[in-house]
Amino acid sequence: MATTATSGRRSGTVRPDLKEALGAVGVVPARVDARESRAVFERDGVVIVPRTPTDPDELVVAAGRTLGGRLRALTGIRPQGGTDSPPLGLHSDGANVVVEIHGRQVPLREPDEDYLYMLCSVPAPSGGDSVLIDGYALVDQLAEAAPELHTFLTRCDVDYFGGWRTPARGVPATPLVRRLVEWTRGGRRVVRASDYAAPVPREPEWDAHMAFLDGYADVLATAFECAPRFRLEAGDLMALDNYRFLHGRDAFRGTRELHVLAVRSADAR
């Protein structure tokens, strides 16, 4: 069963009984030349372009190449990585960060960033392999393997960041209420994963909803263990549909460096 740290972060436990159902939801992206990336991206929702210059500005170029006129807004390019890091479990990108600039509320990050671009500049010398899960396939499998959990994910609201004990500066205090699986106005399905999701405030079935959230964490931990691994090498640029795919990585030793850009397209929400 899932456990919750003092920070409010939930961690799942691998469930052997779910391994058969979740064994085929992992994805290894196709690697293609930049000229082919848009067609493959539109077909698969994810693509890796190798031999990309490691200048972070290439992320913006890739977003324009793969989305074209559908590109609407960029967040800041942010460095990620570190040294001797533990595993990073399955998650969907997006954060609710708002600051005030000249008297105006300005979002630095948004929860509904719908595409994600990652450029590796320094791969870890040991470990750090990537994991990618097709969230659509995952949810479809749960409809058969865990129908009650599927109903919760698709029909019940949660407080998306409500488990945080000490939210970071700039994070709005107002609960962000949404479903972990829902559809946009344009008909896109969104599959989400939040380590800090909690039942909505004053939820009458609080204990039952907490149990479902723990169960979903176990599902994600199981899918993470079963998924095939792939490695991002220096110059590998991965673009993915953040509404469809959940991603994570293995622990690594040594230093790993990459840059990440999240964007919103005309199809977001």
Check which CATH number belongs to the domain holding 7 and give it.
3.60.130.10
- Determine how many CB atoms are found less than 10 A away from the CB of residue 241: 22
**If pLDDT is split at 50, 70 and 90, which confidence band does 99 have?**
confident
Task: Please report where in the chains the tokens 């450029």 appear, as a residue.
Answer: 119
Q: Identify the pLDDT of residue 124.
A: 97
Positive or negative, the Cα torsion across 56, 57, 61, 66? Answer: positive
Q: Identify the pLDDT of residue 170.
A: 86
**If pLDDT is split at 50, 70 and 90, which confidence band does 82 have?**
very high
Task: Please report where in the chains the tokens 């407080």 appear, as a residue.
Answer: 159
Query: Residue 175: left (phi > 0), alpha (psi -120 to 50), or beta?
Result: beta
For residues 55, 60, 62 and 65, what is the CA-based torsion angle, rounded to 10 degrees?
A: -140
Q: Report the distance separating Cα 228 and Cα 248, nearest Å.
A: 12
Cβ pair 212, 180 in contact under 8 A: no
Element (H, E) at 169: none
Averaged pLDDT, 75-80: 91
Q: Identify the pLDDT of residue 171.
A: 84
Q: Identify the pLDDT of residue 186.
A: 87
Task: Please report where in the chains the tokens 């990652």 appear, as a residue.
Answer: 118
How many domains is the chain built from?
A: 1
Mean pLDDT of the chain: 95
Q: Identify the pLDDT of residue 172.
A: 85
**Residue 222 tokens, joined:** 């199981």
Q: Identify the pLDDT of residue 77.
A: 94
Q: Tell me: pLDDT of 110 over 90.
A: no
SS3 146: coil
Q: Identify the pLDDT of residue 37.
A: 98
**How many residues does the structure list for the chain?**
269
**If pLDDT is split at 50, 70 and 90, which confidence band does 95 have?**
confident
Q: Identify the pLDDT of residue 169.
A: 85
**If pLDDT is split at 50, 70 and 90, which confidence band does 15 have?**
very high
**If pLDDT is split at 50, 70 and 90, which confidence band does 112 have?**
confident
79-113 exposure pattern, b = at least 16 Cβ within 10 A, e = fewer? eebeeebeebbbebbbbbbeeeeeeeeeeebbbbb
Amino acid sitting at position 202:
R
Percent of the chain with pLDDT over 70: 100
Q: What residues pair up with 172 in beta bridges, in sequence order?
A: none
Averaged pLDDT, 219-225: 98
CA-closest candidate to residue 128, choices 141, 137, 138, 118:
118
Q: Which domain holds residue 55?
A: 3-265
Which 8-state DSSP code applies to residue 242? T
pLDDT digits (tens, 9 = 90+) for 143-183: 999 999 999 999 999 999 999 988 888 888 889 999 999 99
CA angle, 51 as apex, 50 and 55 as ends, to 5°?
Answer: 110
Residues 6+ apart with CB under 8 A from 151: none
Percent of the chain with pLDDT over 90: 86
pLDDT digits (tens, 9 = 90+) for 27-75: 999 999 999 999 999 999 999 999 999 999 999 999 999 999 999 999 8
